[in-house]
């Protein structure tokens, strides 16, 4: 961390500031230039509150040099993390599609979709049992029963399952879930993250709607600081002023994350866009940009099918997306290596 | 809700759509115009998933007419809500300043500050015991001990206390807390909101960093749907591209909310801005715009004082802000009445 | 356009509103439902000010059904536009890379780069002669001399040239320029757009940093309304809260635009990101998502090369990007057809 | 400017970088610390392209210490600027309301409104003759005739006039205009700004919809660098994800600007909000926050009046806003002085 002081800082103010920094066990390295005095901080600065320092009257500017995350930092983990889910691997050159219904609705639905997506090449089955809904009056998911239906689909197809947790007290129900998802709205539910750091299952951490990449990595850090190193990051769109899409999918997060962290990065193009015919081009784009996987909604709801189209893909449309993605993938491997 | 269909919709597609709507117990009122067919939905449309409808191929557009919130809706509660906290009232013409330290640090600190802010006219004491921190390595608050120190300050000054909850399992520790705060990062922690709907204490609900006013009211609705009608809304800044301030305080949320809801609206200018000398003008502005109260950080930390200034106000600076605000307030009452 | 009136609208208010609409030569189609009265407007509503209508006290909501753009609307131009620049085609299945230096600096620089990018497969040469700079003290480009140097490079390589105009009075200097670029900051310089509508050269219109897709198409409409139908749209990143990239490249704009308009859509990944090693993955992603072309900065500045890297690509790095892109392109054609 | 180098920078790379900096006439001050090497730049760094430096492979970070604007910088102009418009003063303790119709429509309209707003205390008359419209099909203003009607209103009332310019070639028509307005969409039309720097009239510069405060000051710098030092800044709302208001009025820009610049800051609450009943609270808030003035739309259009309300205020409603604002103003003076 580097602190730049204002020109008119008095020597005793500098001394006081240094004393305060030393009290945290951090060394200082002062360089008095022609126009500015600069303090370099050497030591573990992850505990220093930058906003507090920046707010001091004598401080012109403060800048972190080391990223505030360690466990999630590629500098300390040069090798890509490979998350192994019962033999299904994500990261480090392993690419997976996670597919399934937004909400688990019935045994027939989830088993039928599971079989379809497996045939098309999906490596994992997703399905929502607990649904975070903006409205308290909307359907909140089948809950425990939904998890049981996912288990049945897993038993039939062998696909590991991914499902979202909203409350740490539900953890016992997630025994059979292979990858636990933390949704965008819980990305900074720090108590939930901390608890998930103590268990032994991979966590799929979605980016919050308005969170920076650094905050996202700090949330991964919460999980990893507790000992659980298997975190998969999932970009799902951020909030902007544009109204033609529900959210703006930030695909540049992929190369940015690849530089900063060794964790696998996947992309969910279904939620951000709002219409199924945009899923294919964005799934292809995410793959080309070097994503380690995709998460895609697939449904077979006849009520919606009646009306000819919806935001989820039908199994047939998903098959087409999967084909496209698997053909793009080798070029992503070949050209995104440096 | 109004659904506008595309020009080339076939009669059987219209029938299918109507059948699906009727299956939810909602009546339809179809109007076939020269260029478009419009379906008006009559009934409880709060359960209808607009995104799903919008994604249908035959749908050109869909528009909610009734707001999706009811308990929080001024249309059904024309009178302003007055939240009564042991005699200290907020809303419906009652204005309060909630002041205190960001984090509770020691008995001396919190009692001293409580006495100061009371003298300056604050009606409630705030203090953080559980701190939501972006970094797992940062100080996370004194927790239970912090709550106890707040109780002591309350005993000494008589000021009711406001403190933030992060985890529903901590609720027993909040017995003595008069107003429970839900922080910006938990605004859509729906399980937490639902639980707080079942208790008998006012809830201070902060706006999420990137949440719309409608989503904020839907979160209030979660609490109110459970039976707890005492919700206070607190604007604290939203995330934009501007970097000179930490967040952008959205004061226009005050008149917007006053039209939409009967709930009290307060403003926290301390977090959004990042420097104490901006707190005063923005506190004055929020008051002039018709806020029902303010939440302001006050500290007396000698380490920071050494360096001549910080983002929190000193008790003296707070006294000056309170004076300004109390002089502006009558004009807000006089002119913001319609 | 559909106007939804509030429940308590009086008959005479409805009549007044209808009279005002009729005075603009627009027919009304009123449908009085159980809870709401809806007015459908039939005729040329592009002149109706939606904000004004929305602000009326009796209006609950107003919604455009027809897009406010016509010349740029795919509904009236089902066939993709192919822009033909002296035989070099963009759109309708034709893909081009436009490459070259950010600023034209010298004869050697621009000619050397032109030859390199031609060899790598670029179809057009870009180069800035007039540079829009945030600071009045920064280098503003070689201006007329820069255009002359581009002409020389064109003479040597045969590559058509693309350069940015900032002021309509400079038009005579752009005689030899094949495609005139309008920069992001001038996207709503309506007088400039209107003038460019009267000339006979393709216009490359960049999206403004904070403009919606609809506003962007309205700016294309300004040019097309004057008779110049050859507009190429260029996505270059929008402004968000994220700070790890300079801007957020909105690749979902590609499928959205493909649905709304017949104009070609290209992507400039160089400006948004800020580091050359992100250009390759995002160029590949844009191609996979179905872009009709790319605009990429290439430099050979030895001063920067000294320091081992910069935001522009070297000719060698560009060659690698071009190879990747040309291998991805066939899959974009094959799978993005519907 | 401070450049922080990466740990593994080689001595010859450092030398090369220093040589390049020296070639711009800037001195370097190198400080080699335990973990990082820091280069301090001494001299006129306003010409250094930060993005270029940041993109160098050996650079960890780069930070400007001096603001890149000089003429607009309070550090060099400690005294508030007072803009004197024929005796009507703005800034340095002088507060003005600029009021009038959005578009000039007729002699009767503009003269009647001018007389009304003068009576209510407005110091200047605004009126649009050239209207920047998103759609090429919308009314573009009365142009030259509009300016003439404003002149007549000025002759009758003595109020100086403010009107927007969109094209430098229209300057001769603005002879009689007292303050020339640059609209939000032209805030970075650098050629227009440069030309306005050479004339001898105050310029009212609106903030762009998605521009940072620093960029806004750089645009003021463009004007001032040409010799025209009379620039008035006008906040009018920025673009965010919120949809209940057209834009988000950023009132915290007032205290931020007061620290950074000596230029007067006014606020236009009419455009951002979209409904007249929000203008009053936000006008009061802006005044309380220390604005040097307000710009408010007033209309007397009978067609709109028929329908009982619109986004502009009627003369009567304006009178009420002015009363409120003039009563708040003394407290803003008293408390916003430090």
pLDDT for res A31: 79
Tokens of A146: 């939904």
Total residues belonging to chain B: 338
Using alpha carbons, select from C312, C319, C280, C295 the residue that is nearest to residue A336.
Answer: C280
Minimal Cα distance from A68: which residue of B? B135
Classify domain C74-335 by CATH architecture. Alpha-Beta Barrel (3.20)
Mean residue pLDDT across chain B = 90
Minimal Cα distance from C280: which residue of A? A336
Contact partners of D by the rule of 3+ C-beta pairs under 8 A? A, B, C
Minimal Cα distance from D270: which residue of B? B252
pLDDT, tens digit, for every residue of C289-302? 999 999 999 987 64
pLDDT for res C222: 96
Q: Is C25 helix (H, G, I), strand (E, B) or coil?
A: coil
Tokens of B225: 């749907």
Average pLDDT over residues D223-229: 96
* A179-182/A161-164 β-pairing: parallel
Average pLDDT over residues A203-230: 96
C-alpha–C-alpha distance, residues C210 and A17, integer Å? 41
Confidence of residue D308 (pLDDT cuts 50, 70, 90): very low
The answer to which of A307-321, D65-79, D226-240 has the lowest mean pLDDT is A307-321
pLDDT, tens digit, for every residue of B151-185? 999 999 999 999 999 999 999 999 999 999 999 99
Judge: D36–A34 Cβ closer than 8 Å, yes or no: no
User: Is the model's pLDDT at A305 over the cut of 50?
Assistant: no
pLDDT, tens digit, for every residue of C149-171? 999 999 999 999 999 999 999 99
Judge: A4–D63 Cβ closer than 8 Å, yes or no: yes
Task: Transcribe C215-274 into DSSP letters.
Answer: HHHHHHHHHHHTT---EEEEE--B--S--SSSSB--TTHHHHHHHH-SS-EEE-HHHHH-
pLDDT for res A74: 93
Q: Which residues of C touch D276 (CB under 8 A)?
A: 55
Minimal Cα distance from A214: which residue of B? B134
Domain B2-63: top CATH class: alpha beta
Q: Name beta bridge partners: C180.
A: C163, C203
pLDDT for res A310: 57
The phi-psi region of residue D230 (left if phi > 0; otherwise alpha if psi is between -120 and 50; otherwise beta) is beta
Average pLDDT over residues D121-144: 91
User: Is the model's pLDDT at B322 over the cut of 90?
Assistant: yes
Task: Transcribe B107-143 into DSSP letters.
Answer: HHHHHHHHHHHHHHT-SEEE-BSS---SSTTS----T
Shortest Cα distance, chain A CAs vs residue C214, angstroms: 8
Percent of chain D with pLDDT over 90: 65
Using alpha carbons, select from C273, C271, C285, C272 the residue that is nearest to residue C321.
Answer: C285
pLDDT for res C62: 83
- Distance, first Cα to last Cα, chain D: 29
Residue among A51, A138, A168 minimizing CB distance to B47: A138
Burial class from Cβ neighbours inside 10 Å (0-12, 13-18, 19+) for residue B285 reads: buried
pLDDT for res C32: 77
Chain D contacts in chain B segment 267-296 (CB below 8 A): 272-273, 277-278, 280-282, 284-290
pLDDT, tens digit, for every residue of B58-91? 888 888 777 889 999 998 899 999 999 999 999 9
pLDDT for res D304: 54
Residue among A212, A252, A289 minimizing CB distance to C241: A212
Strand order in the sheet with A37-42: A27-32, A37-42, A2-5, A59-63
* Pairs of CB atoms within 8 A across B/D: 136
Using alpha carbons, select from A294, A234, A222 the residue that is nearest to residue A265.
Answer: A234
Distances (CA, A) of A230 to A197, A224, A273, C11, D319: 9, 8, 28, 65, 64
In angstroms, how far is CA A194 from the centroid of its own chain? 16
Percent of chain B with pLDDT over 70: 96
Confidence of residue A26 (pLDDT cuts 50, 70, 90): confident
Confidence of residue C306 (pLDDT cuts 50, 70, 90): very low
Shortest Cα distance, chain D CAs vs residue C158, angstroms: 30
Tokens of D244: 């209940």
C-beta of residue C238 within 8 angstroms of C-beta of residue C207 = yes
**Continuous H helices in chain D:** 11-22, 50-55, 107-120, 144-157, 190-196, 213-225, 253-260, 269-273, 279-288, 302-306, 315-335
Shortest Cα distance, chain C CAs vs residue B247, angstroms: 10
Using alpha carbons, select from C135, C139, C146, C151 the residue that is nearest to residue C105.
Answer: C146
C-alpha–C-alpha distance, residues B284 and A28, integer Å? 40
The DSSP element (H or E) to which D206 belongs, if any, is strand D203-206
C-beta of residue B222 within 8 angstroms of C-beta of residue B194 = yes
The answer to which of A26-35, A297-306, B27-36, B329-338 has the lowest mean pLDDT is A297-306
Distances (CA, A) of A124 to A10, A118, C289: 62, 8, 24
Average pLDDT over residues C100-109: 91
In angstroms, how far is CA B183 from the centroid of its own chain? 9
C-alpha–C-alpha distance, residues B239 and B210, integer Å? 6
Shortest Cα distance, chain B CAs vs residue A153, angstroms: 25
C-alpha–C-alpha distance, residues C249 and A253, integer Å? 10
Residue among D188, D210, D225 minimizing CB distance to C239: D210
Judge: B68–A135 Cβ closer than 8 Å, yes or no: yes
Mean residue pLDDT across chain C = 90
Q: Which residues of B touch D322 (CB under 8 A)?
A: none
User: Is the model's pLDDT at B272 over the cut of 50?
Assistant: yes
The answer to which of C142-156, D59-73, D194-208, D220-234 has the lowest mean pLDDT is D59-73
At residue D175's C-alpha, the angle toward residues D169 and D181, to 5°, is 70
Distances (CA, A) of A125 to A96, A158, B286: 11, 9, 49
Name the DSSP letter for residue A24: T
Q: Is B246 helix (H, G, I), strand (E, B) or coil?
A: coil
pLDDT for res D297: 92
Shortest Cα distance, chain B CAs vs residue A316, angstroms: 17
Average pLDDT over residues D133-145: 88
Q: Is C40 on the interface with B (CB under 8 A)?
A: yes
Confidence of residue A337 (pLDDT cuts 50, 70, 90): low
> How many other C-beta atoms are found inside a 10 Å radius of the C-beta of residue C334?
11
Chosen for mutation from C46, C128, C137 (greatest number of chain D CBs closer than 10 Å) is: C137
Q: Is B210 on the interface with D (CB under 8 A)?
A: yes
pLDDT, tens digit, for every residue of D253-293? 999 999 999 999 999 998 777 777 899 999 999 999 999 99
Q: Which residues of A touch C328 (CB under 8 A)?
A: 288, 328, 331
Mean residue pLDDT across chain D = 90
Distances (CA, A) of A171 to A105, A231, B185: 21, 17, 21
* Sign of the alpha-carbon dihedral angle for D7, D13, D18, D20: negative
Chain B contacts in chain A segment 58-97 (CB below 8 A): 58-59, 68
Contact partners of A by the rule of 3+ C-beta pairs under 8 A? B, C, D
Using alpha carbons, select from D33, D38, D36, D92 the residue that is nearest to residue D65.
Answer: D38
User: Is the model's pLDDT at A298 over the cut of 70?
Assistant: yes
pLDDT for res D40: 83
The answer to which of A215-229, B114-128, B149-163, C274-288 has the lowest mean pLDDT is C274-288
Average pLDDT over residues A231-254: 94
Q: Is D332 on the interface with B (CB under 8 A)?
A: yes
Q: What residue ranges do the domains of chain C occupy? A: 2-63, 74-335
Q: What is the 3-state secondary structure (H, E, C) of A179-228?
A: EEEECHHHCCCHHHHHHHCCCCCCEEEECCCCCCHHHHHHHHHHHHHCCC
Provide Rg for chain C, Cα atoms: 23
The answer to which of A239-253, B239-253, D290-304 has the lowest mean pLDDT is D290-304
pLDDT, tens digit, for every residue of D77-92? 999 999 999 999 999 9
pLDDT for res B137: 84
Residues near B253 by beta carbon (within 8 Å), at least 6 away in sequence: B207, B213, B235, B265
Q: What is the 3-state secondary structure (H, E, C) of A31-83?
A: EECCCCEEEEEECCHHHCCHHHHHHCCCEEEEECCCCCCCCCCHHHCCCCCCE
Q: Is C334 helix (H, G, I), strand (E, B) or coil?
A: helix
Q: Which residues of A touch D42 (CB under 8 A)?
A: 33-35
The answer to which of A321-330, C268-277, C313-322 has the lowest mean pLDDT is C268-277
User: Is the model's pLDDT at D303 over the cut of 70?
Assistant: no
User: Is the model's pLDDT at A307 over the cut of 50?
Assistant: no
Q: Is D244 on the interface with A (CB under 8 A)?
A: no
At residue C327's C-alpha, the angle toward residues C322 and C330, to 5°, is 125
Is D336 or D112 the better-scoring residue by pLDDT? D112
pLDDT, tens digit, for every residue of D167-212? 999 999 999 999 999 999 999 999 999 999 999 999 999 999 999 9
Residues near D261 by beta carbon (within 8 Å), at least 6 away in sequence: D69, D72, D73, D74, D77, D217, D220, D233
């Amino acid at each position: 961390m580097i602190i730049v002081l204002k020109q008119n800082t008095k020597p005793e103010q500098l001394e006081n500031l240094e004393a305060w920094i030393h009290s945290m066990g951090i060394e200082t390295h002062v360089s008095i230039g022609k126009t500015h005095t600069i303090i370099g901080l050497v030591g573990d600065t992850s505990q220093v509150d930058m906003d507090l320092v920046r707010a001091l009257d004598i401080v012109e500017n403060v800048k972190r040099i080391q990223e505030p995350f360690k466990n999630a930092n590629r500098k300390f983990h040069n090798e890509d993390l490979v998350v192994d889910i019962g033999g299904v691997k994500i990261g480090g050159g392993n690419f997976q599609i996670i597919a399934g219904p937004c909400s688990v609705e019935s045994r027939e639905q989830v088993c039928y979709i599971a079989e379809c997506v497996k045939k098309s090449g999906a490596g994992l089955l997703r399905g929502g049992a607990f649904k975070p809904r903006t409205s308290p009056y909307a359907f909140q998911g089948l809950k425990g029963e939904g998890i049981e239906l996912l288990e049945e689909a897993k038993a039939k197809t062998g696909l590991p399952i991914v499902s979202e947790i909203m409350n740490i007290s539900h953890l016992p129900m997630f025994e059979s879930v292979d990858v636990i998802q933390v949704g965008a709205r819980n990305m900074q539910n720090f108590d939930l993250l901390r608890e998930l750091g103590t268990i032994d299952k991979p966590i799929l951490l979605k980016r919050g709607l308005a969170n920076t990449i650094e905050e996202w990595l700090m949330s991964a850090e919460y999980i990893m600081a507790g000992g659980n190193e298997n975190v998969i990051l999932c970009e799902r769109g951020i909030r902007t002023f544009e109204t033609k899409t529900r959210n703006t999918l930030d695909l540049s997060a992929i190369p940015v994350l690849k530089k900063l962290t060794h964790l696998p990065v996947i992309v969910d193009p279904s939620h951000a866009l709002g219409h199924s015919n945009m899923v294919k081009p964005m799934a292809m784009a995410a793959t080309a940009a070097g994503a380690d996987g995709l998460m895609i909604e697939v449904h077979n709801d006849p009520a919606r099918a009646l009306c000819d189209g919806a935001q989820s893909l039908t199994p047939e449309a998903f098959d087409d997306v999967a084909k496209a993605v698997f053909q793009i993938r080798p070029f992503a491997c070949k050209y995104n290596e440096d």
